[in-house]
């Protein structure tokens, strides 16, 4: 479309096409005529764009938020739109959204002439629903077949390689407290079992350990790990 694209991310990303990475969000806001947001809702992205960040944007710039409602301080955005510093905005996600058609949609962005407000329903088309069903089924198969939990919301995410045919894979979800991993290693060492590969992911509440062990010891390891008090769930794949 003839645009010069600049971007910033929490991790270094190789540029695609004519995109150019900049060093910080502040640097991007000072340069961009149109700012678009592409982030999940996390503690790090909560109120990512507030009055301070809006003030760093170029006078007459536009803001597009199709990411998550918690990412932008809508009160501050409404003020910036009203006083003319931000020329316009397009928003389809909101901090508070009605649960049904009978509930009122309340937002400080309503009624502003320089704002486009739309529902976040891109996933409601027939084509999107079909693709979502295929993707979800594929992810469940990967969870069952090799333990991958990518994009899961309630357990730590792990994307795993396929299991080697000469090994058993042990999937262990536990409460995330100190000492569990050392206990696991101690039990496995006492059994004389060799760990061929190990993956660990955790969040504030849970730890997810994936162990590939010699095929002759899978059941023995599973029974030992079940006895650890912090164990929530343990499963073996072979």
**What's the CA gap between 62 and 56, in Å, rounded?**
12
Task: Return the closest-CA partner of residue 58 out of 27, 82, 37.
Answer: 27
Residue 21 pLDDT > 90: yes
Please report, to the nearest 10 degrees, the dihedral formed by the alpha carbons of residues 47, 52, 55, 57 taken in order: -50
Query: Which helix (H) or strand (E) covers residue 222, if one does?
Result: helix 218-226
User: Which of the pair, 12 or 159, is modelled with greater confidence?
Assistant: 159
Which two three-digit tokens encode residue 42? 């996390």
**What's the CA gap between 49 and 146, in Å, rounded?**
39
Report the catalytic residues.
68, 97, 120
pLDDT the model gives residue 99: 79
Q: Summarize pLDDT for 82-138 with one digit per residue, the tens.
A: 999 999 999 999 998 887 888 888 899 999 999 999 988 877 888 989 999 999 999
Using a pLDDT cut of 90, give the percent of the chain over it. Answer: 74
**What's the CA gap between 48 and 71, in Å, rounded?**
5
Secondary structure (3-state) at 65: strand
pLDDT the model gives residue 170: 95
**What's the CA gap between 212 and 101, in Å, rounded?**
51
pLDDT the model gives residue 151: 86
Cα angle 47, 26, 94; round to 5: 25
pLDDT the model gives residue 108: 95
Q: How many CA atoms lie within 13 A of 197 on its CB side?
A: 15
pLDDT the model gives residue 77: 97
pLDDT the model gives residue 215: 85
Q: Summarize pLDDT for 38-95 with one digit per residue, the tens.
A: 998 888 899 999 999 999 999 999 999 999 999 999 999 999 999 999 999 999 999 9
Domains of the chain by range and CATH? 6-120 (3.40.50.720), 126-237 (3.30.70.260)
How far apart are the two ends of the chain, measured CA to CA in Å? 51
**What's the CA gap between 207 and 223, in Å, rounded?**
18
pLDDT the model gives residue 229: 96
pLDDT the model gives residue 1: 78
pLDDT the model gives residue 35: 98
Strands (E), the chain: 6-7, 20-21, 34-37, 61-65, 86-91, 115-117, 167-175, 195-202, 206-214, 231-237
């Amino acid at each position: 479309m003839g645009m010069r694209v600049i971007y910033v991310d929490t991790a270094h990303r190789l540029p695609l096409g004519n995109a150019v990475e900049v060093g910080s969000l502040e640097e991007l806001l000072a340069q961009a005529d149109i700012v678009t947001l592409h982030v999940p809702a996390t503690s790090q992205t909560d109120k990512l764009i507030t009055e301070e960040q809006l003030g760093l944007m170029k006078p007459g710039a536009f803001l597009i938020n199709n990411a998550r409602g918690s990412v932008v301080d809508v009160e501050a955005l409404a003020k910036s739109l009203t006083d003319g510093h931000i020329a316009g905005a397009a928003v389809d996600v909101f901090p508070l959204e009605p649960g049904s058609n009978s509930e009122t949609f309340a937002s400080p962005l309503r009624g502003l002439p320089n704002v486009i407000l739309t529902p976040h329903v891109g996933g409601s088309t027939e084509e999107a629903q079909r693709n979502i069903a295929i993707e979800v089924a594929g992810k469940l198969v990967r969870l069952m077949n090799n333990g991958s939990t990518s994009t899961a919301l309630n357990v730590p995410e792990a994307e795993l390689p396929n299991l080697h045919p000469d090994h058993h894979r042990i999937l262990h979800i536990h409460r995330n407290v100190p000492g569990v991993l050392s206990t696991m290693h101690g039990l496995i060492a006492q059994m004389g079992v060799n760990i061929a590969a190990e993956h660990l992911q955790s969040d504030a509440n849970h730890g997810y350990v994936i162990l590939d062990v010699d095929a002759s010891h899978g059941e023995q390891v599973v029974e030992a790990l079940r006895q650890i008090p912090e164990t929530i769930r343990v499963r073996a794949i072979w």
